[in-house]
A = this chain, B = another copy of it.
């Protein structure tokens, strides 16, 4: 196969985005795109390249005082009648245009075209971000080669529509259960209705006042929501069990343990089982490379509300933020697209920061 990532394509972030989109790479099928990326990087004299599975790492070793990471995932969600890409006016359509091959294009473009960056840079092109965590390329590298991740600051090239979204919120799922006593519904007073008992759980959710926490100028607005409710035995039975699944999105000033304590406090008196939990990430905008990055962007950062892989860097003690040209609301949508102007603006920003 001829590598579509030619020198002309690599020189233009827009052409590069389109070329990357047109290499199909649904999660767990990243070999072809990783091969193309690896081949390009191995030809660059100022980079040393490593590969683990379908994750490719390339780094400069210029002896700079600081090292930064630029990271993008190579995989996409399944195609949805949106492959290959197409142009419509100033918009590039197709699976992965927003999430996040336009971001991957930034990293690859900079890796090839900035031989003398102001910081040492580690570029990650990683696999399997869109599926279970155990397949995630950053997870696998952190287990097999933790030293590859050493850095002072990380930029994750997730779609943020050209804004700096710093850190990220944590997420926790918990089941809140009520119990009762079964009875025939014709003689319901012999029983205790567990669904009726869940009324108080919903009442607490309804009246819950979510925090909005500002850290380093970024506001993290929390949320506590029932995402599922299940109860009932049969059409003529007073039910003895009801379960409400609650999703708590928490600001990064709270640890997972503090978030769990809070959920248990909100639902005091009920059986609470935590089923899923992921820590948030503090914005960490006071580190010098972060401050310089914000100066290059020139706009105030906001808090990232969804959970992203910045939390993996935060867990390693590396401040991290999200920055990409795509609109996060279009990620995973059949009409996913990215604005050409946004790609060019962001590329210029990154170049200004890294090459100045």
Residues of chain A having any CB pair with chain B under 8 Å: 169, 171, 173, 184-189, 193, 195-196, 198-199, 202-203, 205-206, 221, 223, 225-239, 242, 244-245, 247, 249, 276, 305-307
A236 to B331, CA, bound (A): 14
B239 lies within 8 A of A227 (CB):
yes
B202 lies within 8 A of A206 (CB):
no
Closest-CB distance, A205 to chain B (whole angstroms): 5
**Which residues of B are found within 8 Å of A205, using beta-carbon distances?**
193, 195-196, 199
A184 lies within 8 A of B306 (CB):
yes
A169 to B244, CA, bound (A): 33
B188 lies within 8 A of A198 (CB):
no
Known: A173-B235, A186-B249. 13 other contacts (CB 8 A): A185-B223, A189-B221, A189-B223, A193-B205, A195-B202, A196-B202, A196-B205, A198-B202, A199-B205, A202-B202, A227-B232, A227-B239, A235-B245
Closest-CB distance, A131 to chain B (whole angstroms): 14
Q: A186-B171, A202-B199 are in contact. Are A236 and B232 (CB under 8 A)?
A: no
**Which residues of B are found within 8 Å of A239, using beta-carbon distances?**
226-228
Closest-CB distance, A273 to chain B (whole angstroms): 14
**Which residues of B are found within 8 Å of A229, using beta-carbon distances?**
195, 198, 229-232, 242
A169 to B247, CA, bound (A): 42
Which of B169, B193, B228 contacts A231, CB < 8 Å?
B228
A242 to B198, CA, bound (A): 14
18 chain-A/chain-B pairs, Cβ below 8 angstroms:
A186-B306, A186-B307, A187-B306, A195-B205, A196-B206, A198-B202, A198-B229, A199-B202, A202-B202, A226-B232, A227-B232, A227-B235, A227-B236, A227-B237, A228-B239, A229-B229, A235-B276, A236-B247
A247 lies within 8 A of B226 (CB):
no
**Which residues of B are found within 8 Å of A202, using beta-carbon distances?**
195-196, 198-199, 202
* Chain B minimum-CB-distance residue to A222: B188
Q: A199-B205, A230-B229 are in contact. Are A188 and B249 (CB under 8 A)?
A: yes
Closest-CB distance, A184 to chain B (whole angstroms): 7
B305 lies within 8 A of A225 (CB):
no
**Which residues of B are found within 8 Å of A189, using beta-carbon distances?**
221, 223
A223 to B183, CA, bound (A): 12
A319 to B252, CA, bound (A): 70
Q: A205-B196, A232-B229 are in contact. Are A223 and B186 (CB under 8 A)?
A: yes
